[in-house]
Amino acid sequence: MSARDDTLASIRKNRPAGDHPLPEVPVFPPLVGDDHVAEFGERLKRMGGRIAAPVPGADPFAAVRERLDTAAVIASAVPEITGNRDLGAVARPQDLADVDVAIVRAVFGVAETGSVLFTQDELKVNAVAYLAQHLVVLLDPADILVNIQAAYRRPDFGRATYAVLHTGPSATADIEGVLIHGAQGVRSLTVILLPRA
């Protein structure tokens, strides 16, 4: 028996009997206005991200077209655009270390924080959201929720094996307040408001 199996067996053996439901998530008054798209965009910008609303009938990727055209390695987890790195063929997460641009669809966005939620289903390989240099996120404007409490109530959040909220690109600041993006993860995060097909 492995150490992992031994640990899990011990946890199961010592689990208290009975049903132990999770606590109820309280409902807090919204801290944002009624225009969830505008509120989401404002908070995303504060966190160093960008938002793009494509013109109907035009190239939905116009806001990131230059970045896509100059990228050597593109990993796409969406049908709207094809990449040249097949996420289905990735054997180890570190095989994505050379990805210039990753394109994924968010399950939903959160107006109060400017965050987007990914699960294992959207990412295909969880590491792609961290190892890519630039992250392009497709988000249906109808999927923008008011706050984190609304996100916690979504069944797709609770059912996911892996779920992560991203708020802007990676960033760090020193004691003098110098902010650097891309210090430990993606250097840029662009959200494209694109309804689901």
* Ordered structural domains, the chain, with CATH: 3-193 (3.40.50.10420)
Following DSSP, what letter does each residue of 116-179 receive, concatenated?
EEEEHHHHSSTTHHHHSSEEEEEE-GGGEESSHHHHHH-HHHHH-SSEEEE-SS-EEE-TT--E
The first and second tokens of residue 191, run together, are: 């959200």
CB-based contact 28:149 (threshold 8 Å): yes
pLDDT digits (tens, 9 = 90+) for 51-108: 999 988 899 999 999 999 999 999 999 999 999 999 999 999 999 999 999 999 999 9
What would the pLDDT profile of 22-55 be if each residue is shown by its tens digit? 888 788 888 999 999 999 999 999 988 999 999 8
Which DSSP category does 85 fall into? B
Place 182 in a pLDDT band, splitting at 50, 70 and 90: low
pLDDT at residue 175 in the model: 76
Alpha-carbon distance 58 to 87, whole Å?
27
pLDDT at 3: 93
